[in-house]
Each structure stands twice: as structure tokens, then as C-alpha cells.
Amino acid sequence: MNLIDVLILLSTTMGLLTALSIVVLSLTWLERKFLGRIQMRMGPMRVGPYGLLQPIADAIKLMSKEDVLPGWVDKVVYWVAPLIVFVPTFMIWITIPVAKDLAIRNMDMGLLYIVAFSVLSMVGLVAAGWASANKYAVLGGFRAAAQLVSYEIPLILATLGVAMLAQSMNLVTIVDQQQIGLPYIFVQPLGLFLFFTAGLAELGRTPFDIHHAESEVVGGPFVEYSGMHWAVFFLAEYINTFAIGALTTLLFLGGWTFPGLPTDILPIGITIFLIKTYMVILVIFWIRGTYPRLRIDQLMALGWQVLVPLAFLNIILTAIYMFYGWPVWSSTIMSAGILIATFWGLSVHMKTAPAPVYTVKLYTPPAQEA
Amino acid sequence: MVLSVDGERVVDMEPHIGYLHRGSEKLCENELYVQIVTLFDRLDYISNLNNEMAFCRAVEKLMGLEVPERAEFIRVILCELNRVASHLLFVGTFGIDAGAMTPILYTFRDREKIQSMFEAVTGARMMHNFIRIGGVKSDVPEDFTDRVKLLRDELIQGINETDKLLSFNEIFLARTKGVGTIDADSAIAYGMSGPSLRACGVPMDVRKDEPYSVYDRFDFGIPIGENGDSWDRYYVRVEEMRQSLKIIDQALEQMPDGPTITPTRFILRPPAGEVYVRGENPRGEIGVYLVSNGTDRPYRVKIRPPSFCNLMALKEMIKNTYLADAVVILGSLDIVLGEVDR
């Protein structure tokens, strides 16, 4: 490896890090503004026009904060945990293409690589919880472990359906296939639902935010962290959000392609890709503003009793559809039918079990004699 | 609250109360009767007017004081508005307990309107000291009726909005249905009252059972639940807000003209004797036991706070639930610690 190679490596890494940091800054601003809109507030307004400089002010605040090291923690694990969380989230971006020819390294097994690396950050969460030696942190860490392990399976199985349709695990090929045919949202709506739901759980976002639920475990694994170490967790969380948004876009929404636009030209492709990704992320924020949080047993039940069987069903359907070479609309109908049936079933189940709703009624006492 | 947990399961819990103890009952013995009203403001600081009303009624009963009719109507309207404000706060915080962050901002918007209304009428947003012994401090502003009618429409809209957002949300149902169930017999045995008891299917409401003030002139229903779980406790309160608005509507229609206070001396000396008065607070039944020995200060004031009695049932409800449920159950009882500890 000569000097040029090293320089290229360093500059790409720094470039990626810068780009992701800018994305994270924009996401924090967007989340606060968007949630503010949902909740009839303005969101940040003071720093810069429309509060645009707020994320930068926050970053400066976090950097200048004292990094507290509690006396009882396991020092090595405590300091390393943020890195274990951050590095995998950063690593998966190496193979995510942002436009047709814009990926740091386009791998043939890109999907597998992403799936493999995204599991690793869970270790960091457990380590952070354990090393903090705080009851809330430990509980949060274990919750994170249980949750991430269960939801990894439907996530992987959902991506498998896409890989079968595209006959490839290369993300660029997957997008190209969608450009030739239809975006996979129209072919496999069930797959999109599975991927997105499991993705939300992987991110630990509402309604699956049980590992850092404020009202139950305070801040979860991060409760003892402060300053830059906390900021690294925060950064990882938002990069992950962006990654799930990007993957949803690439796998189901046709990536950087758009009918009728010359999206092979780099700036147009990037713009289309970013617009789609931010739309997906806005949906994530929207859900956060609307839904309460699930309980841990309900979370596990949803994962293992609903999502995993559905994911297998999705794969079987895809296999049948591919094997017999049925027309595209047959897959759409099957997939959408199962999805609607699931929604209906879940809704009925939740409104009847364990007790039916509409139990509150008005009682008017019998008229008393004057 | 100290929880013993086994993983995510709650094995045992022990409520630790007393951190907000201010000795209100003892303080009452050293104050003039007119001064005690302000102490009652600070008991349950979410439903101040209802507390003031309970104490004033106790003194009036002891002295045999007649309250002008207009004053009674003003009291009822303000108390019911106060009830709505209290329940709105409950709906919002209960949403937070279940993990939904948006409802509280909607309910706070509506509660804020009620608070502004209170400010216009009483001059204070929280510690009103408006209901006085023998009536109310002053007459309401001229445009009171129109403003309350406007407020009522906005509140109905606001309640419906929150109802749509939260009440029948599948995840919210999953979190609250069948959680923290208590049956009617044990609820009565623990001395629960108010919406928490009504959620078990017991139609007990002091406003109906023992109508005080002018409550017997209004037509309103008592929302009751069936299962006694957290969702019933929540929805009984939502329905109660609608009933309260109905009462306000009727009270505005029937409000007579006239004086708003029976003049009394500044230093009251009620005759020696004892009296017990109960009233329906947003959280349940408040009881005031007042003993006078004929001087200008009461000999003893005992308060039966609804939050305290409801809290006692918590242990039974919380055992063998999940950790996340403990938060929801505590939230569904809607306690105010200022009242638990006095």
C-alpha cells in the first residue's frame, strides 16, 4: 500500500464522516421542526433563521461539556462501548450507493455485508448498559439485546425477499432491476411493511423505543454518559435512522431512479435519492409523534408471532411467484392481500383482547322522589 | 415508590410517601377561617377550586350560612371547568406514561384556555382563593357567559381531537386494557373513590348520591366502566369531561342574577361543634371534618384526600405486572402528591 492509497483511504473516510455528520445535523433539526409541527409548536427558532443553526449550537455544547466518568464503572468497557456502537453504523455506509456510481465500494454481497455489520452495534448497547453498573442502564441494555436480536430476523428475511426478486445482493443491481421493472413497493408491499417495522425496532424508535423509554428506564444504556461519549451514541442513532431510510429507498422505492428523469446524471440521482430517503425518515418521525410505546412482552409477541411468520410467508410467496413466472400483478395482489388481512386481524385482536373496548357507558341513576 | 423486580416483572412494591408533607392539617389549626381557604388551594394543586369549595361548604354548614344562588352557580361552573382542566392534564400525562408524547401538548393547549378563563375571573391562574365562606369573592366579568360558551365549543373540539389521537389507538389499547385490574369489592374495601372507583362499575358520585350546592338541578350522567382496568379509568375521565361541559351548559342557562356573597364578619367565630362535608373532586371524594370550639380558629381539621385513598390500592394492582405497566397503573390512578402528603 503506497502513500497515494493511504491518502485516498483517508480522504474518503473523512468525506463520508463529514457527509454523515451533516446529515445527522440536518436530521436533528428536521426531527425537532417536524415534531413541533405535529404538536402545534414552532420547534427551535432562536439560533439562526428558523433555528437552522440549532444543531451546530448543540454540537458545540456537547463538545464543551465535561465528560463525567462515574467512579463505579468498568472503565475500559465504558469508554469502548460508544465506539462499538458507532463503528458498525459507519461501516455499513461503505457499500450503500447514493447514486448510480456513487458508493465507496460497491460490493456484490452488499446486502449481506450490511446485515452482518448492523447486528454488531447491539454488543455496544449491552456493553454500555453493563459497564455503567446502573440499574436503569442494565435493564435498558438487556431490553436492547432482546429486542434487536428478535427483530434482526424479520429484517433479514425481508431483505431476502428483495434479493430473490432482483436475483442479486448488489444494491446497485437491485436498483437497476427496479428501474427495468417496477419498484418493489408495488411488487412486495408486505416486504416493505416487514422491513420498515423491523427497521423501526432496530432503530429503537417509537413504538419500539423500549430500551431508552424515559418513563420506564430513564435513558436506558446511555443514562450515565455525558458530553462527547453520549454524542457518539446520538450520532450513531441518527446515522442508523438515515441508513434505514436509505435502505428502504434502495430496496423498495427504486433508489435514485424516477420515471422520466435522467437519473444517471449524478446530481439529479443524488437529489432524487435524498428526497426519497428524507420522506421515509419523515414517516419515522411522524410515527414517533403519534404512537405510544409497546410493552416488552407485546414487542416480543409482535416480533415472533407476527413478523417472523409473515416474513417466511413473504419468502415462500416470492419463491412461488418467481418459480412459475407469474405476472407481476399477481405478486402485488397476494402481498397486499396478506398485508391488509394482517392489519385487520391485529386491529380486531387488539380491540377485543384481553377485554373488549367500548366498556365505558353512562349511568343515569333512577329518578329520586322529590 | 420502591419496586422489587425480577427481570421485567414486578414482584413487590412499596409506596414511599411523605416527601411533600407540609403539615397542612396542623397549620389549619393556627389560621383564621378565611386564611385556611388558601391552604386548601395548595392541597390538590390541579383542582384548587374544588378544594376551596369543600372547605367553604364545611364552614357554611357549621354556621348555617346561606349562600346566594348566583354564587352557587358560579361555583359550580368554575368547579366543573376545574374538573375538565384536571382531567385534561391527566389525559396528557397518561399519554406520556404510555409513551405517546403528543397528546400532552394538545391537552395543555386546552387546559391553558381554561387557566386563562380562571385568570380573567379570579385573577390568578392556580392559587385562586376565589371561593369564599358565604359565596364567591366577586361577580364574574360581564362577558363571562359568552366566553365560557366559546370555551366550551373549543374544549369539545379539543377533547374529541385527543380522543381520536389516543383513546382507540391499538397500541394504547394493548398497553392499558386489562392492566392494573381491580374488582369493585376490593376497590371499595381500599376506600377508592371517584373515577377510579367508577371504572370498576360502581356508580358512586357524591354529586348524585348526596347532591350539594345546586348539582341536583342539572341533568348529567355518571360514566362507569366495566373491567376496572387502566383503560376504563382513562376513558371514564374522558367521558366525565363531556358530562362536565354538559353541566356547565345547563348552569349558564339557569344562572340567576343577584348578590354573590353573604356578608360575614372578617373574623369568623362559628359555634362550637363538628361537621363533616364531602364533595366530588376530580380525583374522587374529598372529605373535610371540621371541629370548632367557638374561637376564631378551628380546633381540628381532618381532610380525607381522594389521592391518598386511591394510592393505597396501588400495591394490589401493581403486583405481578411488568415494569412498564407499573408506570401506566400509577398514571391511571391520577394522584397528586400535594394531596397525598398534605
- Residue A205: list chain B partners with CB under 8 A: none
DSSP symbols for A212-250: G-HHHHTTGGGTT--HHHHHHHHHHHHHHHHHHHHHHHH
User: Do residue A35 and residue A177 come from a single domain?
Assistant: no
**Domain boundaries, position A9:** 1-64
How do residues A330-350 score in pLDDT, each as one tens digit? Answer: 888 888 888 888 888 887 877
Minimum Cα–Cα distance from B109: chain A residue: A40
Average confidence (pLDDT) over A146-167? 87
Per the DSSP assignment, residues forming a β-bridge with A40 are none
User: Do residue A59 and residue A171 come from a single domain?
Assistant: no
Q: Is residue A299 in a domain? A: yes
User: Do residue A49 and residue A125 come from a single domain?
Assistant: no
User: Do residue A117 and residue A244 come from a single domain?
Assistant: yes
Please give the share of chain B, as a percent, with pLDDT higher than 70: 99
For residue B340, what are the contacts with CB-CB under 8 A and spacing of at least 6?
A: B17, B20, B305, B307, B308, B311
Instruction: Count structural domains, chain A.
Output: 2
Asked whether the predicted pLDDT for residue A366 surpasses 70, the reply is: no
User: Do residue A163 and residue A295 come from a single domain?
Assistant: yes
User: Do residue A104 and residue A53 come from a single domain?
Assistant: no
Is residue A105 within 8 A of residue A94, CB to CB? The reply is: yes
Q: Is residue A364 in a domain? A: no
Asked whether the predicted pLDDT for residue A369 surpasses 60, the reply is: no
User: Do residue A37 and residue A60 come from a single domain?
Assistant: yes
DSSP symbols for B130-158: -EETTEESSPPPTTHHHHHHHHHHHHHHH
- Which of A217, A293, A347 is nearest residue B98 as measured by Cβ atoms? A293
Q: Is residue A365 in a domain? A: no
How do residues B163-218 score in pLDDT, each as one tens digit? Answer: 888 887 778 888 888 788 888 888 888 888 888 888 888 888 888 778 888 888 88
User: Do residue A46 and residue A132 come from a single domain?
Assistant: no
How do residues A37-69 score in pLDDT, each as one tens digit? Answer: 888 888 888 888 888 888 888 888 888 888 888
How do residues A172-183 score in pLDDT, each as one tens digit? Answer: 888 888 888 888
- Note the pLDDT of residue B30: 85
User: Do residue A37 and residue A99 come from a single domain?
Assistant: no
- Note the pLDDT of residue A360: 67
Q: Is residue A362 in a domain? A: no
pLDDT category at B219 given cuts 50, 70, 90 is confident
Q: Is residue A7 in a domain? A: yes
Please give the share of chain A, as a percent, with pLDDT higher than 90: 2
Is residue A199 within 8 A of residue A155, CB to CB? The reply is: yes
How do residues A258-317 score in pLDDT, each as one tens digit? Answer: 887 777 788 888 888 889 999 999 999 888 888 888 888 888 888 888 889 999 988 998
C-alpha distance from B71 to closest chain A C-alpha (Å): 24
Asked whether the predicted pLDDT for residue B335 surpasses 60, the reply is: yes
CA-closest candidate to residue A154, choices A336, A309, A283, A346? A309
User: Do residue A60 and residue A91 come from a single domain?
Assistant: no
- Residue B173: list chain A partners with CB under 8 A: 350-351, 357
Question: Three-class SS of residue B281?
Answer: strand
Asked whether the predicted pLDDT for residue B159 surpasses 60, the reply is: yes
Average confidence (pLDDT) over A126-135? 83
Per the DSSP assignment, residues forming a β-bridge with B238 are none
- Residue identified by cell 442513532 is A237
User: Do residue A238 and residue A345 come from a single domain?
Assistant: yes
Alpha-carbon gap, residue A298 to B125, rounded angstroms: 42
Q: Is residue A147 in a domain? A: yes
Of B11-25, B41-55, B315-329, which has the strongest mean pLDDT? B41-55
- Residue B175: list chain A partners with CB under 8 A: 292-295, 298
Q: Is residue A312 in a domain? A: yes
How do residues A221-275 score in pLDDT, each as one tens digit? Answer: 787 788 788 888 888 888 888 989 998 998 888 888 888 777 778 888 888 888 9
Residues of A contacting chain B (CB within 8 angstroms): 35, 38-41, 139, 143, 206-207, 209-210, 213, 215-217, 288-298, 346-347, 350-351, 353-355, 357, 359-365
Q: Is residue A235 in a domain? A: yes
Per the DSSP assignment, residues forming a β-bridge with B287 are B278, B304
Alpha-carbon gap, residue A362 to B224, rounded angstroms: 6
- Residue A296: list chain B partners with CB under 8 A: 8, 322, 324
| Mean per-residue pLDDT of chain A | 83
Of A101-110, A114-123, A303-312, which has the strongest mean pLDDT? A303-312
pTM over 0.95: no
- Which of A289, A297, A359 is nearest residue B322 as measured by Cβ atoms? A297
Asked whether the predicted pLDDT for residue A370 surpasses 60, the reply is: no
Contact B171 A213 (CB under 8 A): no
User: Do residue A41 and residue A121 come from a single domain?
Assistant: no
